Amino acid sequence: MSHLGPEPESGKRVLRREFLTVRSRYTADDVRETGAALATRALELPELAHARTVAAYVSVGSEPGTRALLDALHARGVRVLLPALLTDNDLDWGAYAGEGSLVSVQHRGKMALLEPAGERLGPDAVLAADAVLLPGLAVDARGMRLGRGGGSYDRVLARLDRAGADPALVVLLYDSEVVDRVPEEPHDRPVHAVVTPSGVHRFRRPSP
């Protein structure tokens, strides 16, 4: 059944609160252990095993940890791009140069984010990625992702679409965040795979 009016977005707001409440209970040890398990699982993905450039992000707070994966990809010689938030909520990108190459940036009205310290490569740098790791709060059985609501990654996905780029879209989640269904809007785009500590969930790519 199709949604009318603001229902999908209001439903998303309710779900976001629920998932963030659960995440708030995780300890630093939980996040670290999850990050190690996610790195092990994700590194087995063919999409990452064969990637030369991966656009990723630095997890903060109780998000499923990404640091172990970033370091493992960097050690493999993969070019890892990390986002830097712009004032309009779009994302610029910089290359990850390993431990010590991140700076804490406080954005107005948001928590401090860890961003790459080096040269900014521009929003279009993501077009070179063979795989894009997307943050999220949940993914459903169709591969639809529930983001945090800031719209930054909607812009990234729209940029990829406009350019005809087709990188693998991968989300890292806790096991409980793979659900039956999340609300969707017309601009939402399914991802190709979800990695959790216990395994990998794949979704069929739509036919061209």
Q: Show the tokens assigned to 34.
A: 């999850």
What span, in angstroms and rounded, lies between the C-alpha atoms of 117 and 100? 9
Consult the annotation and say whether 176 binds a ligand.
no
Consult the annotation and say whether 16 binds a ligand.
yes
Consult the annotation and say whether 150 binds a ligand.
yes
Q: Show the tokens assigned to 205.
A: 């790519």
Consult the annotation and say whether 86 binds a ligand.
no
Consult the annotation and say whether 205 binds a ligand.
no
Consult the annotation and say whether 15 binds a ligand.
yes
Consult the annotation and say whether 14 binds a ligand.
yes
Consult the annotation and say whether 147 binds a ligand.
yes
Consult the annotation and say whether 96 binds a ligand.
no
User: What are the backbone dihedrals phi and psi of residue 126, each rounded to the nearest 5 degrees, phi first?
Assistant: -65, -20
Contact 195, 171 (CB under 8 A): yes
Consult the annotation and say whether 17 binds a ligand.
no
Consult the annotation and say whether 12 binds a ligand.
yes
Consult the annotation and say whether 18 binds a ligand.
no
Consult the annotation and say whether 146 binds a ligand.
yes
Consult the annotation and say whether 13 binds a ligand.
yes
Contact 65, 196 (CB under 8 A): no
Annotated binding site: 12-16, 58, 63, 145-153
Annotated binding site for ATP: 12-16, 145-153
